[in-house]
Chain A
Amino acid sequence: GAGVSQSPRYKVAKRGQDVALRCDPISGHVSLFWYQQALGQGPEFLTYFQNEAQLDKSGLPSDRFFAERPEGSVSTLKIQRTQQEDSAVYLCASSLVPSGGYLSYEQYFGPGTRLTVT
């Protein structure tokens, strides 16, 4: 029944490795967001999907970051050639309705994936 789930919960990667982070949103939720949260900071927007369409990817910090949601449900955030500055908690959130106009519905957050790059 669930809420938003993310896997893995913890990931340790050596610098230069590729990682893939998974998000299972609440069933039927149209909107899906990825955020990056550094220790002691608020989440920072990475990208937004409406169903399978990636409508905004302006927050992705570099071309090493790539996100997809091919069937409009599960989403994967991939980071290639990880760097130490990529260490953070990656949060996924979903929302019931599309954000046309403005964000008028609550976002349900997953527990996050804590990525540590050594």
Chain B
Amino acid sequence: QQPVQSPQAVILREGEDAVINCSSSKALYSVHWYRQKHGEAPVFLMILLKGGEQKGHEKISASFNEKKQQSSLYLTASQLSYSGTYFCGTEDSNYQLIWGAGTKLIIKP
């Protein structure tokens, strides 16, 4: 079942912060976050694993609440380059990532 992302879209001024949420109805093994710019391939941001391990870029932070089956991605001091659509992918069984519908982030100068 597809995870639910919120908000669907957000517009920020450069330097502002944003939080993107991802919620699933199933128990999760892992949550993956990717960013996709228009017409380009999704690019890896972060993996959060059951048990607390995280893998990702230094400037990106995220949380994973296993009990609530929720994850949040925190974007601080946003830059123009952060613009794009953010997808969370949730793993509730081996090998399959089920992706949310995406959160479109627009950063204005």
Contacts and interface: CB of A to CB of B under 8 A. Distances in A.
18 contacts: A4-B41, A35-B99, A40-B101, A42-B89, A42-B101, A42-B102, A45-B97, A55-B95, A56-B96, A59-B96, A91-B41, A102-B29, A102-B94, A103-B29, A103-B95, A107-B44, A108-B44, A112-B41
B80 interface: no
Interface residues of B, dominant DSSP:
strand
A96 to B, nearest CB: 12
Interface of A: 4, 33, 35, 40-45, 48, 55-56, 58-59, 91, 99-112
A48 B96 CA distance: 8
Interface residues of A, dominant DSSP:
loop
B87 interface: yes
Contacts of A33: 97
A43 B49 contact: no
A55 B100 CA distance: 23
Contacts of B55: 104-106
A58 B98 CA distance: 12
B47 A104 contact: yes
A4 B49 CA distance: 25
Interface in B3-29: 29
B49 A104 contact: yes
Given A56-B94, A103-B94, A107-B44, 9 more contacts: A41-B102, A42-B99, A43-B89, A58-B96, A102-B29, A102-B30, A106-B47, A107-B32, A112-B41
Contact of B41 (A45, A48, A56, A110): A110
A42 B100 contact: yes
B40 interface: yes
Contacts of A44: 99
